[in-house]
Amino acid sequence: MEYDNKLILAPMVRVGTLPFRLLAAQYGAHITYGEEIIDHKIIKCYRQFNERIGCTDFVEKGTENVVFRTCDEEKDRVVFQIGTSDAVRALNAAQLVCGDVAAIDINMGCPKSFSVSGGMGAALLSKPELIHDILTTLRRNLSTPVTCKIRLLKSPYDTVELARRIEKTGVSALAVHGRQVSDRPKDPANWSGIADVVSALSIPVIANGDVFECDDIQHIKSTTGASSVMVARGALWNASIFSPEGKISYEDVKREYIRKCFLWDNDIKNTKYTLRDMIGHYSSLELAEGKAVTKSESNADLA
């Protein structure tokens, strides 16, 4: 797994399922992150091959709930992101899936209450000893590459010092979202804060934040000096942002996403969630198309 000069699909809850990851890769994403999955959740799962559609499922014991779905086509580029606050649980979770993914990532940037309240996500940013414990435990026990994703701290000095400490654990790369925990998506990303981290580290730094158009990819690279670029909302609205030929029609991308959701039997709730975000960026969900998505009960209805 190489992290230099890569275009990367960011982890997005309920969006980064198998169909969307394959969609992003089809248009040019080199690395695709799955949605964050909590360690407690994945360690309750068993692995099974789904012969009907030709994929590998991690299914929650006692249920038919597929927590993570992957396939051979993405094995060399998919990153499994773990939400955790404990080194042993993180290792147990990683060991369950590491044979089917290209890398393991620890989420240290999510500001949502469900993550922070459990001591996960952005809550880790104030616990450098725990960060060190989690990352070194994974590095010592896995042959799979390990990375993590952080946000900016309140001062550039604190951010750089944390990044240096993370680098010493032996991680393969560090993704930096150019916002602080208190920032909202509408607040502009601080690319200079990412540049401070890039200049201080020798490992690849992945820049994330405010990449909405194809031109933004080169702009953030030249501004920050980052090795690679991670795209979230820009990819959600039109995954062809990764294409070297430039973006294509949103309508074409949307149809291809629906086709993949049908082929890979995506959870209809996640399909609808993603489509509503895609459609809502371009038009009102109160129009006919948005209402049709809301009423749909299966991927076949959407197709």
Q: Tell me if the pTM is above 0.75.
A: yes
* Per-residue pLDDT, 111: 83
Q: Is 110 noted as a catalytic residue in this protein?
A: yes
At residue 47 the predicted structure's pLDDT band, cuts being 50, 70 and 90, is: very high
Output the CA–CA distances (angstroms, integers) from residue 202 to 167, 199, 205, in the order listed. Answer: 8, 8, 9
Domains (range + CATH), the chain = 7-266 (3.20.20.70)
Looking at residues 274-294, what average pLDDT do you find?
90
CA distance 288 to 303: 16
| Candidate list 55, 98, 110, 261, residue with the active-site label | 110
Whether residue 228 contacts residue 4, with contact meaning beta carbons closer than 8 Å, is answered with yes
* Per-residue pLDDT, 115: 83
* Per-residue pLDDT, 104: 98
Residue 303 has pLDDT above 80, yes or no: no
Percent of the chain with pLDDT over 70: 100
Residue 185 has pLDDT above 90, yes or no: no
Looking at residues 46-60, what average pLDDT do you find?
97
Model confidence over 63-100: pLDDT tens digits?
989 999 999 999 999 999 999 999 999 999 999 999 99
To the nearest 10°, report the CA torsion of 19, 23, 24, 25. Answer: 100
